[in-house]
């Protein structure tokens, strides 16, 4: 059977891509699922190399892809199993730095093109920051093409030595519906607010891992300025992480109008119940929370960092990172101005309509694959 190039729709040998997922943030895992489904639907053979827990959580085999368990570690056994999975691949696409390093090691000595998507930026200080930079350089140079989900990630990849770095915005999969068929949205909203203790007061929601770079310490600083507001807003922070004990100590010690509610699987319901969503991070690429907030028509106050301004345009209130006074003022002003909140909701709906669809995302990625796998004229 002769090999026919993947871009021929009637080729006897379809293109075989291996998608490599590492630890897999929610954003990158959902993207790999979306990509695998879209590629399989277009007749591409897809193998997903990922830890089994990620494959189960995101139903990766439900996409029509084959799953190969590859642990998160970069030890020789993991690299060896990845090397076997890539044996007859036409192209390998790794998502995230650690997955990309494993893929680069597995492809050593093989002429199989490597595409790497940088979904986000790792956060490191001191000696770890030097190690991270070295890892970014190794991965950037090993890739035939680096796809960055925001412009600043594309710039970063170029600074690290990428020969070809391109903007490839990752779409949020179709928003999960907050309301079930048997319940009215208003009823669900009231129920969620009642459970949180915010029936007769404004509800401000933040979501993310409780880590320093998320800026929740600055958000608590800002909440001190809301204590004079009447009614007193309630800040709810959903997520888990190493900063939990410190944040809890501050909330209790300073009597702040805030609650930590842990990791939640009902984020759409939380957003639907909120009056405002706050994203105080030191850096974000294409924030899933910002996308969900705009889709859900909830006004957003966010830091003007990374890919956030590019993502939200004028459909959110943007403040500098680390400026608790600016954050507090923006929130208080929005709570006092229902008309401005309505304008932001409408702008959010319009902005969300400009983001690429899942179909457009798959088409863009497939065009990169075709470019890298079509036979070159001698």
Domain ranges across the chain: 16-171+357-373, 185-352
H-only helix segments in 163-215: 185-196
Which class would CATH give 185-352? alpha beta
Could you give the CA distance from residue 74 to residue 149 in angstroms, rounded to a whole number?
24
Mean pLDDT of 322-327: 98
pLDDT band at 121 (very low <50, low <70, confident <90, very high): confident
Which positions ≥6 away from 206 have C-beta within 8 Å?
Answer: 216, 219, 235, 236, 237, 238, 277, 278, 279, 280
The two structure tokens encoding residue 274: 């909120």
Which positions ≥6 away from 261 have C-beta within 8 Å?
Answer: 196, 236, 237, 238
pLDDT at 180 over 50: no
Residue 59, helix vs strand vs coil: coil
Could you give the CA distance from residue 296 to residue 351 in angstroms, rounded to a whole number?
12
Backbone angles phi, psi at 66, to 5 degrees: -90, 140
Q: Distance of CA 240 to CAs 182, 210, 264, Å?
A: 31, 5, 9
**Cβ distance 5 to 34 under 8 Å?**
no
Identify the bridge partners of residue 302 per DSSP, sorted by sequence position.
279, 318
Which residue would you say has higher pLDDT here, 241 or 11? 241
Give me the percent of the chain exceeding a pLDDT of 70: 92
User: Quick count: other Cβ atoms within 10 Å of Cβ 173?
Assistant: 15
Mean pLDDT of 284-305: 95
pLDDT band at 231 (very low <50, low <70, confident <90, very high): very high
Tens digit of each residue's pLDDT (9 = 90 or more) over 234-267? 999 999 999 999 999 999 999 999 999 999 989 9
Average pLDDT score over the chain: 90
Query: Looking at residue 2, what DSSP letter applies?
Result: -
For the CA atoms of 287, 288, 293, 296, the dihedral, rounded to the nearest 10 degrees, stands at 150
pLDDT at 1 over 50: no
pLDDT band at 174 (very low <50, low <70, confident <90, very high): low
Single out the residue of 304, 318, 376, 305 nearest to residue 347, CA to CA.
318
Mean pLDDT of 354-378: 88
- Reported as type and span, the H/E element at residue 68 is strand 66-69
pLDDT band at 302 (very low <50, low <70, confident <90, very high): very high
pLDDT at residue 71 in the model: 85
The two structure tokens encoding residue 373: 């796998």
Mean pLDDT of 321-342: 97
Single out the residue of 368, 372, 360, 367 nearest to residue 170, CA to CA.
360
CA atoms within 13 A on the CB side of 132: 12
Q: Which fold has domain 16-171+357-373?
A: Rossmann fold (3.40.50)
Q: Is residue 231 reached through a cis peptide bond, with omega within 30 degrees of 0 on the bond before it?
A: yes
**Cβ distance 200 to 233 under 8 Å?**
no
Return the minimum-mean-pLDDT range out of 7-16, 41-50, 260-269.
Answer: 7-16
Beta strand residue intervals within 74-202, DSSP E: 91-95, 114-118, 145-148, 165-167
Pairing between β-strand 203-207 and β-strand 114-118 as defined by DSSP bridges: unpaired
The two structure tokens encoding residue 300: 């957003």
Instruction: Using a cut of 0.75, tell me whether the model's pTM lies above it.
Output: yes
Backbone angles phi, psi at 179, to 5 degrees: -95, 135
Could you give the CA distance from residue 206 to residue 214 in angstroms, rounded to a whole number?
10
User: Does this chain's domain 16-171+357-373 share its CATH topology with 185-352?
Assistant: yes
pLDDT band at 378 (very low <50, low <70, confident <90, very high): very low
pLDDT at 65 over 60: yes
pLDDT at residue 27 in the model: 75
Tens digit of each residue's pLDDT (9 = 90 or more) over 67-92? 999 988 777 888 999 999 999 999 99
Cα 350 to the center of its chain, rounded Å: 21
Residue 20, helix vs strand vs coil: strand
Could you give the CA distance from residue 67 to residue 142 in angstroms, rounded to a whole number?
24
Could you give the CA distance from residue 229 to residue 225 in angstroms, rounded to a whole number?
8
Mean pLDDT of 323-330: 98
Could you give the CA distance from residue 188 to residue 48 in angstroms, rounded to a whole number?
37
Single out the residue of 40, 24, 37, 54 nearest to residue 117, CA to CA.
24
The two structure tokens encoding residue 100: 């990309």
Single out the residue of 147, 213, 308, 126 nearest to residue 156, CA to CA.
147
User: Quick count: other Cβ atoms within 10 Å of Cβ 246?
Assistant: 14
């Amino acid at each position: 059977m002769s090999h026919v190039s993947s871009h021929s729709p009637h080729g006897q040998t379809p293109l075989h891509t291996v998608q490599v997922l590492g630890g897999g943030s929610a954003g990158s895992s959902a993207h790999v699922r979306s990509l695998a489904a879209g590629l399989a639907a277009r007749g591409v053979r897809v193998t997903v190399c990922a830890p089994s827990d990620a494959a189960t959580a995101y139903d990766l085999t439900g996409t029509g892809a084959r799953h190969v368990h590859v642990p998160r570690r970069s030890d020789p056994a993991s690299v060896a199993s990845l090397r076997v999975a890539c044996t007859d691949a036409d192209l390998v696409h790794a998502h995230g730095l650690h997955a990309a390093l494993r893929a680069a090691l597995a492809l050593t000595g093989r002429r199989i093109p490597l595409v790497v998507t940088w979904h986000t930026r790792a956060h490191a200080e001191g000696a770890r920051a030097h190690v991270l930079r070295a890892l970014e350089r190794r991965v950037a140079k090993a890739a035939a093409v680096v796809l960055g989900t925001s412009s600043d990630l594309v710039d970063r990849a170029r600074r690290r030595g990428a020969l070809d770095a391109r903007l490839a915005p990752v779409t949020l999969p179709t928003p999960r519906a907050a309301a079930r068929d048997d319940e009215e949205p208003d009823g669900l909203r009231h129920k969620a607010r009642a459970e949180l203790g915010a029936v007769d007061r404004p509800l401000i929601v933040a979501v993310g891992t409780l880590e320093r770079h998320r800026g929740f310490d600055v958000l608590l600083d800002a909440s001190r300025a809301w204590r004079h507001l009447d009614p007193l807003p309630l800040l709810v922070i959903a997520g888990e992480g190493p900063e939990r004990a410190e944040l809890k100590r501050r909330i209790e010690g300073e009597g702040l109008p805030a609650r930590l509610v842990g990791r939640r699987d009902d984020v759409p319901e939380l957003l639907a119940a909120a009056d405002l969503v706050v994203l105080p991070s030191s850096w974000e690429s294409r924030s899933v929370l910002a996308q969900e907030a705009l889709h859900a028509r909830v006004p957003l106050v966010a830091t003007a960092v990374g890919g956030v301004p590019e993502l939200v345009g004028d459909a959110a209130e943007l403040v500098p990172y680390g400026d608790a006074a600016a954050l507090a003022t923006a929130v208080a002003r929005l709570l006092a101005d229902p008309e401005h909140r309505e304008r932001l909701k409408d702008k959010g709906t319009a902005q969300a309509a400009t983001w690429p669809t899942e179909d457009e995302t798959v088409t863009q990625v497939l065009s990169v694959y075709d470019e890298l796998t079509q036979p070159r004229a001698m």
